[in-house]
């Protein structure tokens, strides 16, 4: 079965030459937390994930192993976080890209359900040449499940 009813071909993608500032502006504009990154040929490079940017704002001790369970003892305010954010906004998106599980347009819809269940916010749909052809989000899946046949 084709995934065509599940994925959208109308999605925002970042170029591998974009910066964190470009990416976060697109995220705010489109209300998403993950964006696909493609090269000049449209091939998927990975996903730019907001949680990776947030991780860069945290003290290193919070990221090691189970981390520090509570950061209330650390001073800081929103202005401090803004300064940290400004220090990474000119970095390339590649710094924060992760390699996601992707699916082929002919993959089983259950494969998408499994990936979303395992924590993916969105799943890239990639053709046999590695080109990004669509994205499936939990919203698209839910819409398809509620659609009257």
Q: What are the sequence ranges of the domains in the chain?
A: 14-146
Range in 24-33, 54-63, 104-113 the model is least confident about: 54-63
Q: Tell me how far apart the alpha carbons of residues 114 and 49 are, in angstroms, rounded to a whole number.
A: 19
In this prediction the pTM is 0.85
147 compared with 6, residue with greater pLDDT: 6
13-49 pLDDT per residue, tens: 999 999 999 999 999 999 998 999 999 999 999 999 9
Residue 133, SS3? strand
- Quickly state the pLDDT bin for 72 (edges 50, 70, 90): low
- Quickly state the pLDDT bin for 57 (edges 50, 70, 90): confident
Name the CATH superfamily housing domain 14-146.
Answer: CBS-domain (3.10.580.10)
Is residue 99 predicted with pLDDT exceeding 90? yes
pLDDT at 47: 97
Cα dist from 120 to 44, 47, 117, 138, whole Å: 16, 11, 7, 9
Q: Tell me how far apart the alpha carbons of residues 118 and 105 are, in angstroms, rounded to a whole number.
A: 20
Q: What average pLDDT does this structure show over 77-83?
A: 88
């Amino acid at each position: 079965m084709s995934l065509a009813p599940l994925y959208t071909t109308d999605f925002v993608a970042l170029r591998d030459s974009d910066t964190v500032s470009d990416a976060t502006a697109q995220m705010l504009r489109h209300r998403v937390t993950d964006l696909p990154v493609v090269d000049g040929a449209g091939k998927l490079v990975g996903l730019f994930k907001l949680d990776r940017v947030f991780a860069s704002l945290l003290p290193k001790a919070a990221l090691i192993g189970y981390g520090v369970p509570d950061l209330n003892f650390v001073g800081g305010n929103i202005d401090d976080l803004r300064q940290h954010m400004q220090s990474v906004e000119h970095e390339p998106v590649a710094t924060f890209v992760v390699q996601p599980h992707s699916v082929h347009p002919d993959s089983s819809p259950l494969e998408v359900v499994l990936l979303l269940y395992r924590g993916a916010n969105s799943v890239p749909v990639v053709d046999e040449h590695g080109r990004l052809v669509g994205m499936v989000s939990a919203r698209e899946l839910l819409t398809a499940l509620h659609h009257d046949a």
